[in-house]
Structure 1
Amino acid sequence: MEKYISNIHTPKISIAPMVDKSHRHFRYFCRIMNKEALLYTEMVTAQAILNGDLDKILYFREEEGPVALQIAASNAEDAYKALKLAEEFNYTEINLNCGCPSDRVSGNLMGAALMSDKNLVYEILSAMKEATNKPITIKHRIGIDGTGVIQPNQGNIIMDGYEDLLDFLDTVSKAKPDRYTVHARSAILKGLSPKDNREIPPIDYDMVYRLKKDFDYLNIEINGGFKTLDSIKDALTKVDGVMIGRASYEDCYLLANLNKLNDENIKPLSRGDIIKSYIPYVEEELEKGSNIHSLAAPIQSLFQGQPGSRKFKQLISSSNVKRETLVPILNNLLEVMPQDILWK
């Protein structure tokens, strides 16, 4: 394994790149609750950057920072050109997606399917390093099952077990990525939906922990199924960082509680203060014509598991949320939700 000690700052927490979730409104809402977590864009293909509207695809507000741009690419040339175009946007770091199991992505030799060609991953990462001085990171799985997926000149590819993971990383590490974010599940590239790939393949935290123990100089962040403060605390005793995915939108107030990782006695921002902080942003974005449902989506789980949760979900439901009603609904929440829950 190539020994490369990166000087990159690894926050204890990052919020995963999630399709249709990690848009800029979601990131702004996350940032209200947690000032230190590294936030990610949705996965953006290199081709989309090369052929699309850059301001629409890559724009983000400085208040969202730090933000990492995650790209998917199938060749080094596209990755290099895409990063050159992205240079004008102030992303903190750039991440290569080698973990998405979607048929649409893997069928184009991107995402998790890239793990079937370790030399190509090395070439893409090397091109990314050449294109920018920003840190370059990689997000990948512990393995893949490519049964039924034929890669050019390779046939079916199966990576299963610790030795296969080390073989992949032995080549990839030569490109000197600054961080490895390891999803502690294998990806099944045919027959499972992306949702099922987040749930059905068994999770194996111990493989990731073993990797960090055996190669302590590697900067390793773990991803996969972390939903509680205690589980995150435990993981942080074994690796450099923890990436949170679904929990950030299924129980978003967890992000406020994660401030306790730095100080157990800290009082998280109240739900009422979070709503009050979000309202001016919503007003401004509505004036710009932003999508109403994208603005309402991040707040949906703010009262998850709390008294009044059902009432909250009814008030903020898609049938009630309209361009002219969202701000009045948010203001009304401050009056009608249980005050002891709203401000504690």
Structure 2
Amino acid sequence: MDSEQLNAREKTFSVAPMIDWTDRHCRYFHRLLSRRARLYTEMITSAAILHGDRDRLLGCDPSEHPNAVQLGGSSPSELAEAARIAESYGYDEINLNVGCPSDRVQSGRFGACLMAEPDLVAACVEAMKSAVRVPVTVKCRLGIDDQDTGAPLDMFTAKLVEAGVDALVVHARKAWLKGLSPKENREIPPLDRERVHRLKETFPDLPVILNGGLGSLEEALPHMGGLDGVMLGRAAYRTPAILRDVDLTVFSDPTPPLPYDDVIAKMHEYACAQAEAGVPLHHVTRPMLGLFHGEPGARQWRRLLSVDMQRPDARPGLLLDAYSRIRSDPGRVAA
């Protein structure tokens, strides 16, 4: 791998793939807040890529790099072809979802249920590795249902290492495929982050990245010493301003974050371009709702974005108007 790719010595910070959340508009916005964070697509099934609207599914802005596409599927040949197509769109990493617990995903024989089939997952990794030059990674759980999180997880990981996997992202919870909803699976199964650290000790040459329940950079950073990276999901989406601290805190990059004035100006310019393509304004502004969380004007900002910009006739200028209104707050938002 070259210096831009994952390796055992490089620490990474990434925003987790989240269905209905981390779309191309969200990724464009997040890139304005951090130059270095790795950004993931929503999970896209291999079948959708092979038979659907590829530009809609895989289209991305050149500014997104480093970025990764997350695939869902269980057919090695389909995944290999989908990975090849995704690579042609310029993605820097192909990630296989082996962690989603939803009923819809299980019915398609992909997601977390694949943790019961390590040989199949290894075959999928091998097929994708043979089809692309970028890193192929896997995102998984500690286990599923009554599966033990000791030896089975080590065996699962060993199979992937043998197949040549470039990194493993581990959500530090089990997935209960029977009896819990996807939302409950994010909250009820207990976190066991120490198990992820032990996995890294067992496989010291494999980049291991921690995911699951990390609510802030302060909570995530202590894990960076023993692991190769951290991945934040809902915390990064709901309070996106925390991404402004990533470059300095994680990557020791002293370049100041883009001022809010510039972030809003660039998002307005982007919204104008998207409006020309027929994209409703609220699709662009939705990931911006929590930008000023905890600051004066935050409630007004959320209201303006969630109400005014939902109108069918909403135009991009409303974004500048909303920002101007909260900037006039006596407490002012930080620059």
Assess same fold via TM > 0.5: yes
8 Å contact from structure 2 (residues 286, 306) kept in 1 = no
Please say if 1:230 is aligned against 2:218.
Answer: yes
The separation in 2 between residues aligned to 1:174 and 1:341, in whole angstroms, is 55
Q: 1:251 aligns with which of 231, 239, 242?
A: 239
Within 1, Cα distance between the matches of 2:93 and 2:127? 15
2:68 alignment counterpart: 68
Check the 8 A contact 1:293/1:318 in 2, yes or no: no
| Residue 291 (structure 1) aligned to one of 280, 295, 303 | 280
- Which one is further off, 135-144 or 161-170? 161-170
1:181-216 deviations in whole A, cap 9, x for unaligned? 011011111221111111111111100011112322
Whether the 8 Å CA contact 2:5–2:134 is kept in 1: the answer is no
Could you report, residue by residue, the CA deviation over 1:105-148 in whole angstroms, capped at 9, with x for unpaired residues?
Answer: 01221000111111111111111111111111010101111xxx
Query: How much does 1:267 deviate?
Result: 4.4
**Maintained 8 Å contact 2:170/2:208:** yes
Residue 185 (str. 1) matches residue 176 (str. 2): no
1:258 Cα offset (Å): 1.9
Quote how far apart the aligned CAs of 1:318 are. 3.6
Cα pair 2:305 2:322 within 8 Å, conserved: no
The answer to whether structure 1 residue 280 and structure 2 residue 269 are counterparts is yes
Q: Tell which deviates more after alignment, 158-167 or 115-124.
A: 158-167
Q: Which amino acid aligns with 1:342?
A: V
**What aligned pairs does 1:296-315 form with structure 2 within 5 A after superposition?**
296-315=285-304
Q: Partner amino acid for 2:333? A: L
- From 201, 204, 210, the counterpart of 2:189: 201
CA shift digits 1:233-265 (9 cap, x unpaired): 211112111011001211111111222313497
1:81-109 deviations in Å (ceiling 9; x for gaps): 22233342111010111011111001221
Whichever residue aligns with residue 102 of structure 1, its letter is: S
- Aligned position for 1:79: 79
Segment of structure 1 superposing worse, 278-287 or 208-217: 208-217
In structure 2, relative to structure 1, the CA distance for the partners of 1:79 and 1:263 (3 Å cut) is closer
Mind listing any 5+ residue stretches in structure 1 that lack a counterpart? 1-5, 146-157
Partner of residue 248, structure 2: 260
Query: Which deviates further from its counterpart, 330-339 or 320-329?
Result: 320-329
Residue 8 (structure 1) aligns with: 6
More displaced stretch, 311-320 vs 223-232 = 311-320
Partner of 2:203: 215
Q: Name the CA distance, whole Å, in 2 between partners of 1:208 and 1:303.
A: 33
Question: After alignment, is 212-221 or 313-322 more displaced?
Answer: 313-322
| Alpha-carbon distance in 1 for matches of 2:80, 2:255 | 43
The aligned runs of 1:104-123 (5 Å cut-off) are 104-123=104-123
Deviation, 1:266, is 6.1
TM-score (norm 1): 0.89
Question: Aligned partners of 1:8, 1:256: CA distance in 2, in Å?
Answer: 22
Query: 1:176 is matched with which residue: 132, 150, 164?
Result: 164
Change (3 A) 1:35 1:70: same
Contact 2:26 2:284 in 1 (8 A): yes
SS in 2 for 1:187: coil
Counterpart of 1:68 in structure 2: which amino acid? A
Please give the alpha-carbon distance, in whole angstroms, between the structure 2 residues aligned to 1:236 and 1:137. Answer: 19
| Superposed displacement of residue 323, structure 1 | 5.2
Q: In the alignment, which residue of structure 2 is the partner of 1:53?
A: 53
Identical columns (%): 38
Q: Which residue of 1 aligns with 2:96?
A: 96
Q: Conserved in 1, the CA contact under 8 Å of 2:141 and 2:173?
A: yes
Please report the RMSD computed on the Cα atoms of aligned residues, expressed in angstroms: 2.0
Q: How many residues align?
A: 327
CA separation in 1, counterparts of 2:35 and 2:100?
Answer: 27
Contact 1:279–1:327 (Cα < 8 Å) also in 2: yes
The residue that corresponds to 2:39 in the other structure is 39
